[in-house]
C-alpha cells in the first residue's frame, strides 16, 4: 500500500554559483563560527601595524623581515606536525622536547663522531619518527590518553636531552651545511626562480582542477575567484621576494640579500603536507577519525595505524623544527626545544584555525598562525620585553586562541553549521 | 502464524532463528521473509527482538539455531562483511556520519575511489549525485555540503544513500523517522518507498503505525521474540497490527490462544 506522493523527476542541475554566491556562502560560514584563516590574518595585520607604530625604526625593515621569517619557521614546522595529531582529536605535549632531542642527536653526531652533515640531519629526523611511533603505539594500542602519554614523553625526553648534552653543556654546531639552514639566504636569482616555480605550480594546479571539473560537468568555482586567489599568492609572494632581494645588511662592510633558505623548506612542506591531507585517502581518513570515531570504525578504517602514523608525522616534523632551531642557535643546550616552543606551536595551529577538538585543520593554518606567533616573539624582543612579560603574553595568546576555537565550536553547534 | 503468499520467492529468508543472550531467550523459532521491490515493516514492542533479528541478518550477532537463505540458497553470515558481500546494508539509528566531512566523503568513507595515489573526487562526486538522483532526493542542494550543516531528514537521506551506493540488495532501516519532524518524515518515507521501487528489498523498523502503513507492502510483527504474523499491509488494519504488537494475536492472526504466554501489554509505549 502506497500513500506517499511520488516526487516528480529531479530538476536540471543547479546553475554554477556566481562570485556573489561564493561571497555570501563564505560570510554565512564566518557568522556560523567557521572562521577559517580570518583570526590569523586579522592578527597579522593588527600586530604588524601595532609593532610598526611602536618601533618604526626597527620593526618594519627588510632586515627584521628576514629575521622574522627565520624565527617563525620553527613554529610553523612544529605546528604543521601538531595539526596531524590535533586533527584526530589528540594532543602531543612532548613535541617541543622531541625537537630538542632530535637536534641534540644530530649535533652529537656532528661534533663527536664527525658524521657527514646530511647523514646526521637524517638520523636526527628519524629520531623524531621513532619517538612518534612509540607515543602513537602507547596511545593506539594501550589506549593510554594522549595527554598522559605525551606528558610522560615531555618529562622523559627532557631527561634524554640532558643526557645527550651531559647535564647542561652547550654543544656548538660548526657544520656549515647545518648552519646554512636557518642563517643563510639563497642567491637573489634563485629566490626569483623559486618564486616563479611556486606561483606557476600553484596556478597550474588551480586551473587544472577547475578545467577537470568543467570537463566532467561538475560545479566549478567562478573564474574571478580563481584569478583572485592566484593573483593574491603572486602579489604577496612577489612583494616578499622583492623585499628580501634588497640588501638588508646593517653594516656597510657586508651585504645580506636573498630569500632565507628556510622559506623554500617551509613552502615545500606546506605543499607536500597539504597534498597528503587534501588529496589522499590517508588524509581524508584522518579527518574522518577526528570527526566521528564510531563512523570511522564502522567504515573499517585502520584506526590504530592512523593514530600511530599521526604521532609519527608530528614528532618527525618536530625533529625538523628542532634542527632548524639548532641551526639558528648555532648550538644545542639542555633547554633546546623547551621554553615556549610547544605552546607557541600549539597556539600557531589554533590561531590558524585548527580545532583542539579534532576534525578541523589545514596545513596553511600552521604557516599563518606561526607568523602570528613569530611576530609576537619578534616584536616583544624589539620592545626589550622582560622575561615575565613574555611568559604572560604567551599564556594570554594561547588562551585567546583556545577561546576563539571553543567559541567557534559553540557558535557552529548553535547555528547547526558544523 | 500466517504468511502472506507472494508470487516471487523471497530474496532473503530467515527460518527458525533462535537467539539467546545468556539465560534470556530473545528470538524463538523466528521465520522472516524479505522480498525484492517491497518494503517490509518489522514491528513489535520494545524488547520484542526487532533489533536482534536484523543484527542476526546483518551479521552483527551470531544466531544459535536456524538458517538464512539468500535467493533460495543457504548462506552463512558471520560478520558484517559477509552481509555486505551479499548486499545487505543496515542503517543504524545513530547514522554514524562524520559532521566535518561533506556528503560525498561520507558516502564513500572507507571505500574511496582513487586514481593512482590521489582521491578520484570527480568520479565519486558523480556517483554520489547519481545515487541521490536515483532516490529522487531534492532536498540536498550540493553534494559538497558538509554533513554537519544538514537537517535531520537530510542526514538520514545521506545515510540511506550511503547504504544503496554499494549495489546493495537489502537495505535495513532502524527507526529512520524516530527523531524527525512531520515534513522531514515525509521526505524520508518517500525515499524509503523509492528504494523499494528501484528494486531493493527494504526492511523498515518502526514504532509509528502511520509510517508503516504509508510505505509498507508487508508487515511482520514480533511479539516477545516470536514472529506472530507476516501479512500484506493491505490485508490488515491499524487496530489489528496494534493488537499483534501488544497481545501477539488479533482474531485469526497471530499466536493461537492456548500458547499465549503473557498479557499485560495493553498498548503502553506504542505510538498511534
Give the tens place of pLDDT for each residue, A160-179.
999 999 887 888 988 898 89
pLDDT the model gives residue B7: 60
Residues from chain A that touch B105, judged by Cβ atoms under 8 A, are 284, 287-288
Residues from chain A that touch B189, judged by Cβ atoms under 8 A, are 4
* Dist CA B131 CA B161 (whole Å): 6
pLDDT the model gives residue B257: 66
pTM above 0.90?
Answer: no
B13-to-A139, B72, B100, B251 alpha-carbon distances in Å = 44, 8, 38, 26
pLDDT the model gives residue B4: 46
Chain-wide mean pLDDT for chain B? 85
Pick A280's closest partner by Cβ from B119, B149, B216. B119
C-alpha A212 chain-centroid distance: 29
List all residues 6 or more positions away from B120 whose beta carbon is below 8 Å from its beta carbon. Answer: B112, B113, B114
Q: What single-letter DSSP state applies at residue A57?
A: T
The minimum CA-CA distance between B193 and chain A, rounded to whole Å, is 8
pLDDT in tens, B153-183: 888 889 988 888 877 899 999 988 888 888 8
DSSP H helix total and E strand total for chain A: 16, 2
Using 50 as the pLDDT threshold, list the residues of chain A that sit under it.
1-14, 415-418
Pick B215's closest partner by Cβ from A2, A212, A299. A2
Share of chain B above pLDDT 70, in %: 92
List all residues 6 or more positions away from B212 whose beta carbon is below 8 Å from its beta carbon. Answer: B41, B43, B204, B206, B219, B233, B241
Contact across the interface for B101 and A14, Cβ inside 8 Å: no
Q: Cell 552481509 maps to which residue? A: B83
What cell numbers appear for A132 in the block? 612518534
What cell numbers appear for B261 in the block? 504466554
Contact across the interface for B111 and A299, Cβ inside 8 Å: yes
pLDDT the model gives residue A33: 66
Contact across the interface for A10 and B101, Cβ inside 8 Å: no
Whether B214 has its CB under 8 Å from any CB of chain A: the answer is yes
Mutation target vs B (from A274, A299, A300; most B CBs, 10 A cutoff): A299
List all residues 6 or more positions away from A377 whose beta carbon is below 8 Å from its beta carbon. Answer: A71, A340, A344, A390
Q: Residue A14: closest CA among chain B residues belongs to which residue? A: B141
Q: Are B84 and A299 in contact (CB under 8 A)?
A: no
Q: What is the mean pLDDT of residues B255-260?
A: 62
pLDDT in tens, B5-55: 446 789 999 999 999 998 888 999 999 999 999 999 999 988 888 989 998
* Dist CA A269 CA A76 (whole Å): 10
Q: Are A224 and A19 in contact (CB under 8 A)?
A: yes
The minimum CA-CA distance between B113 and chain A, rounded to whole Å, is 9
Q: Are B169 and B86 in contact (CB under 8 A)?
A: yes
Angle between helices A262-279 and A62-87 (to 10 degrees): 30
Q: What is the mean pLDDT of residues B121-133?
A: 90
Whether the per-residue pLDDT at B119 is higher than 50: the answer is: yes
Contact across the interface for B97 and A295, Cβ inside 8 Å: yes
Closest CA to A361 of A289, A253, A262: A289
Closest CA to B170 of B81, B51, B89: B89
pLDDT the model gives residue B31: 93
Whether the per-residue pLDDT at B260 is higher than 70: the answer is: no
Q: Are B101 and B109 in contact (CB under 8 A)?
A: yes
Q: Are A318 and A81 in contact (CB under 8 A)?
A: yes
Residues from chain A that touch B215, judged by Cβ atoms under 8 A, are 2, 4
Contact across the interface for A294 and B94, Cβ inside 8 Å: yes
Residues from chain A that touch B134, judged by Cβ atoms under 8 A, are none
Closest CA to A59 of A47, A71, A70, A77: A47
Identify the three-state secondary structure at position A102. Answer: helix
Closest CA to A13 of B60, B126, B120: B126
pLDDT the model gives residue A91: 95
Q: Residue B152: closest CA among chain A residues belongs to which residue? A: A416
A130-166 CB burial, b ≥16 within 10 A, e <16: ebbbbbbbbbbeeeeebeebbeebbeebbebbbebbe
What cell numbers appear for A177 in the block? 651545511
Pick B190's closest partner by Cβ from A7, A294, A359. A7
Closest CA to A318 of A77, A119, A141, A150: A77
- Reported ipTM: the value is 0.85
* Dist CA A125 CA A259 (whole Å): 24
DSSP H helix total and E strand total for chain B: 8, 14
Pick B118's closest partner by Cβ from A280, A301, A418. A280
Residues from chain B that touch A287, judged by Cβ atoms under 8 A, are 98, 100-101, 105
Contact across the interface for B98 and A1, Cβ inside 8 Å: no
pLDDT in tens, A293-349: 988 988 888 999 999 999 999 999 999 999 999 999 999 988 888 878 898 899 999
pLDDT the model gives residue A12: 43
Amino acid at each position: 500500500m502506497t500513500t506517499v506522493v511520488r516526487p516528480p523527476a529531479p530538476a536540471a542541475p543547479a546553475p554554477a554559483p556566481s562570485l556573489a554566491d561564493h561571497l555570501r556562502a563564505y560570510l554565512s560560514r564566518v557568522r556560523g563560527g567557521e572562521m577559517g584563516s580570518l583570526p590569523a590574518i586579522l592578527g597579522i595585520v593588527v600586530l604588524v601595524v601595532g609593532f610598526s607604530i611602536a618601533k618604526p625604526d626597527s620593526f618594519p625593515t627588510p632586515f627584521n623581515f628576514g629575521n622574522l621569517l627565520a624565527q617563525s619557521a620553527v613554529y610553523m614546522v612544529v605546528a604543521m606536525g601538531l595539526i596531524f595529531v590535533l586533527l584526530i582529536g589528540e594532543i602531543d605535549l612532548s613535541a617541543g622536547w622531541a625537537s630538542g632531542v632530535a637536534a641534540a642527536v644530530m649535533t652529537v653526531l656532528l661534533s663527536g663522531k664527525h658524521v657527514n652533515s646530511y647523514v646526521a640531519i637524517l638520523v636526527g629526523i628519524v629520531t623524531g619518527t621513532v619517538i612518534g611511533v612509540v607515543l602513537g603505539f602507547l596511545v593506539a594500542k594501550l589506549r593510554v590518553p594522549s595527554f598522559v602519554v605525551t606528558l610522560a614523553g615531555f618529562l622523559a625526553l627532557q631527561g634524554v636531552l640532558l643526557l645527550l648534552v651531559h647535564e647542561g653543556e652547550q654543544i656548538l654546531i660548526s657544520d656549515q651545511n647545518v648552519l646554512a639552514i636557518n642563517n643563510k639566504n639563497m642567491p637573489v636569482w634563485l629566490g626569483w626562480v623559486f618564486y616563479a616555480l611556486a606561483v606557476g605550480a600553484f596556478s597550474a594546479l588551480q586551473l587544472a582542477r577547475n578545467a577537470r571539473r568543467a570537463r566532467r560537468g561538475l560545479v566549478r568555482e567562478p573564474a574571478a575567484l580563481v584569478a583572485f586567489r592566484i593573483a593574491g599568492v603572486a602579489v604577496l609572494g612577489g612583494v616578499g621576494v622583492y623585499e628580501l632581494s634588497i640588501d638588508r645588511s646593517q653594516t656597510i662592510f657586508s651585504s645580506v640579500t636573498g630569500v632565507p633558505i628556510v622559506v623554500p623548506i617551509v613552502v615545500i612542506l606546506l605543499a607536500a603536507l597539504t597534498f597528503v591531507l587534501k588529496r589522499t585517502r590517508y588524509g581524508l581518513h584522518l579527518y574522518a577519525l577526528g570527526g566521528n570515531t564510531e563512523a570511522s570504525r564502522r567504515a573499517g578504517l585502520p584506526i590504530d595505524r592512523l593514530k600511530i602514523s599521526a604521532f609519527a608525522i608530528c614528532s618527525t616534523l618536530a625533529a625538523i623544527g628542532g634542527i632548524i632551531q639548532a641551526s639558528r642557535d648555532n648550538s644545542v643546550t639542555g633547554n633546546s626545544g623547551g621554553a615556549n616552543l610547544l605552546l607557541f606551536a600549539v597556539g600557531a595551529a589554533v590561531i590558524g584555525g585548527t580545532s583542539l577538538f579534532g576534525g578541523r585543520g589545514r596545513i596553511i593554518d600552521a604557516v599563518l598562525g606561526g607568523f602570528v606567533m613569530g611576530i609576537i616573539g619578534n616584536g616583544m624582543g624589539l620592545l626589550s620585553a622582560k622575561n615575565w612579560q613574555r611568559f604572560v603574553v604567551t599564556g594570554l595568546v594561547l588562551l585567546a586562541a583556545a577561546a576563539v576555537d571553543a567559541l567557534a565550536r559553540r557558535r557552529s553547534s548553535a547555528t547547526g553549521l558544523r | 502464524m500466517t504468511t502472506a503468499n507472494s508470487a516471487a520467492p523471497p530474496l532473503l529468508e530467515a527460518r527458525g532463528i533462535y537467539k539467546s543472550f545468556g539465560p534470556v531467550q530473545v528470538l524463538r523459532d523466528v521465520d522472516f521473509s524479505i522480498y525484492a521491490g517491497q518494503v517490509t515493516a518489522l514491528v513489535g514492542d520494545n524488547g520484542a527482538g526487532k533489533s536482534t533479528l536484523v543484527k542476526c541478518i546483518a551479521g552483527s550477532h551470531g544466531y544459535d539455531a536456524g538458517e538464512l537463505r539468500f535467493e533460495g540458497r543457504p548462506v552463512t553470515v558471520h560478520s558484517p562483511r559477509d552481509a555486505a558481500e551479499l548486499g545487505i546494508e543496515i542503517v543504524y539509528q545513530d547514522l554514524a556520519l562524520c559532521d566535518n566531512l561533506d556528503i560525498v566523503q561520507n558516502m564513500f568513507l572507507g571505500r574511496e575511489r582513487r586514481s593512482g595515489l590521489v582521491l578520484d573526487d570527480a568520479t565519486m562526486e558523480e556517483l554520489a549525485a547519481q545515487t541521490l538522483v536515483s532516490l529522487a532526493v531534492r532536498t540536498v542542494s550540493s553534494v559538497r555540503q558538509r554533513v554537519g550543516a544538514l537537517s535531520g531528514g537530510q542526514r538520514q537521506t545521506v545515510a540511506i544513500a550511503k547504504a544503496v551506493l554499494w549495489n546493495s540488495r537489502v537495505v535495513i532501516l532502524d527507526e529512520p523517522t524516530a527523531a524527525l519532524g512531520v515534513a522531514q518524515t515525509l521526505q524520508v518515507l518517500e525515499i524509503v518507498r523509492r528504494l523499494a521501487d528501484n528494486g531493493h528489498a527494504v526492511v523498515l523498523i518502526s514504532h509509528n503505525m502511520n509510517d508503516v502503513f504509508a510505505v509498507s507492502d508487508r508487515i511482520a510483527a514480533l511479539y516477545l521474540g516470536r514472529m506472530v504474523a507476516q501479512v500484506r499491509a493491505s490485508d490488515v488494519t491499524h487496530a489489528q497490527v496494534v493488537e499483534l504488537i501488544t497481545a501477539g494475536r488479533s482474531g485469526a492472526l497471530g499466536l493461537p490462544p492456548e500458547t499465549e504466554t503473557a498479557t499485560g501489554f495493553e498498548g503502553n509505549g506504542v505510538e498511534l
